Amino acid sequence: MTSSGAPFSNVLWNLRQLGNSPASWTVFAVVLAIQLLVTLVGGPNRQPAWTWFEMMGLSNGGFLTGNVWQLVTYGFLHGSWWHVALNGVFILLIGSRIEHM
């Protein structure tokens, strides 16, 4: 193989690796589902969705009063679809590397 074909084969290898990363895709799907749910109930600026952010987002008051789930759930809440998209890219790129170590 010539050296000019090497970068293309690396891209194909990385794409195959990305496609074969079920844990990363599952985390990304959960993030998308939660964002869709928050959007459907009114978005982060309306009362019903804001209640989700108060209950699931990380806060000193919430955690200290026993809402220990906030240590996990805050990572699944996002302010916008751009935020979800950028985090999704990183979840898939970094997560697939970790899955294949």
Query: For residue range 16-28, what is the model confidence (pLDDT) as tens digits?
Result: 777 788 898 999 9
Residue 34 has pLDDT above 80, yes or no: yes
Model confidence, pTM: 0.66
Residue 13 has pLDDT above 80, yes or no: no
> For the chain, what are the domain ranges?
3-99
DSSP string, 19-80: HT-HHHHHHHHHHHHHHHHHHHTT-TTSHHHHHHHHHHS--HHHHHTT-TTHHHHGGG--SS
- The per-residue pLDDT of the chain, averaged, comes to 77
